[in-house]
Structure 1
Amino acid sequence: MTPHLVHRDQPLHLAGIRTRTTNAAEFSPGTAQIAPLWQRFFAERVAQSVPGYTPQSALYGVYSGYASDAMGAFDVSAAVLATEVPEGLEAVTVPAGAYLVFEAQGPMPATVIALWGAVWLHFQDPAAPARRYDCDFEEYSGDGRIAISIGVLDAG
């Protein structure tokens, strides 16, 4: 699967819930934070509390607040597009900029796990554009479709 470059002209404004984790923590069920975050997101019906949300609205997983690189801590938010942030939720902004986008469709969570594997493999190539490590995001648009957008430095 070949990623494509997208230049986002406008930021995305979202509302949701957040946790902080590391890639190392995610490898152990006892310390993983991402799956419990999404479980809470669905159990508490977070998306449904955001004005403008519909069942057709995309869901977003946003990776931000990087302490350093892939080895450091980072924030993960489960969120939806929002024009206002309801009480009890956090504002999340995906900045404008260049993103390398990887797309797939299939059963979850296997498809997202496999797609992240493709992302990690892609960035092992020395010819790949350098990651910004400021914001990356997943967009779940229904029917098992996912796009993972990785912030990159000037990639042309």
Structure 2
Amino acid sequence: MKQITLDEKHIAGLSVRTNNISEMQPETAKIGALHQTFAQQAKVNYEKGACLYGVYYQYESDYTGDFNVLVGAEPDHVSSMAELEHVDLPAGEYLVFSGEGEMPQVVIDVWGEIWRYFSNADCVHYRAYTADFECYTSEKSVDVYIAVKEHTNK
């Protein structure tokens, strides 16, 4: 894990509203199907530095509430698709958790690491719940960026 400061990014893609409870049940999960739909309609050229994004935003509260998920790329990489939604990744401080391996298991494992990190009583960061995102840099690697804010009193 590392902490970085990011400038604002603009992402275009397809979105759904969901929650973690729904995503744990195959019959109600939406994120996997969203990734499949986007993959059928757009090609991400990893060799040219493109990144496939999974953006989590418009949090109802925290990880227990509803949130939106947008699967997409920077607009220059998805010009062939029509009717895209757009989301801005806010500038700010992010913790980056990384993993490599078979999808989707590596993503599940990285999110498990994130939840363990933030549930630790000694954690020195607070999640901001502004926008978090997955950046798929290849078909077998992912970086998950979690927006954080200054740690004050718990």
Q: Same fold judged by TM-score > 0.5?
A: yes
In the superposition, the TM-score normalised over structure 1's length comes to: 0.87
Partner-residue secondary structure (3-state), 2:118: helix
In the alignment, which residue of structure 2 is the partner of 1:90?
Answer: 85
Aligned residue identity for 2:145: S
The equivalent position to 1:39 in structure 2, one of 36, 39, 46, is 36
In the alignment, which residue of structure 2 is the partner of 1:16?
Answer: 13
Contact 1:139 1:146 in 2 (8 A): yes
Listed one character per residue, the Cα deviations across residues 5-50 of structure 1 (whole Å, up to 9, x for unaligned) are 1111x1111110000001111111111111111111112x2x34xx
In the alignment, structure 1 residue 102 sits paired with structure 2 residue 100: no
Q: CA deviation at 1:126?
A: 2.4
In the superposition, the TM-score normalised over structure 2's length comes to: 0.88
Question: Structure 2 matches for 1:48-59, cutoff 5 A?
Answer: 48=43, 54-56=45-47, 57-59=50-52
Measured on the aligned residues, the alpha-carbon RMSD in Å equals: 1.7
Contact 2:46 2:137 in 1 (8 A): no
Question: Structure 2 matches for 1:1-156, cutoff 5 A?
Answer: 3-8=1-6, 10-43=7-40, 45=41, 47-48=42-43, 54-56=45-47, 57-83=50-76, 87-128=82-123, 129-154=125-150
Partner-residue secondary structure (3-state), 1:66: coil
Partner-residue secondary structure (3-state), 2:28: coil
Q: CA deviation at 1:127?
A: 2.6
Listed one character per residue, the Cα deviations across residues 88-146 of structure 1 (whole Å, up to 9, x for unaligned) are 10112111101011011111111111111111111111232110111000000015111
The answer for unaligned runs of 5 or more in structure 2 is none
Aligned residue identity for 1:6: I
For residues 63 and 12 of structure 1, the distance between their equivalents in structure 2, rounded to whole angstroms, comes to 14
For residues 136 and 82 of structure 2, the distance between their equivalents in structure 1, rounded to whole angstroms, comes to 24
Number of equivalences:
146
Percent of aligned pairs sharing the same letter: 36
The answer for unaligned runs of 5 or more in structure 1 is none
The alpha-carbon distance between structure 1 residues 97 and 61, as it changes in their structure 2 partners (threshold 3 A), is: same
Aligned residue identity for 2:97: F
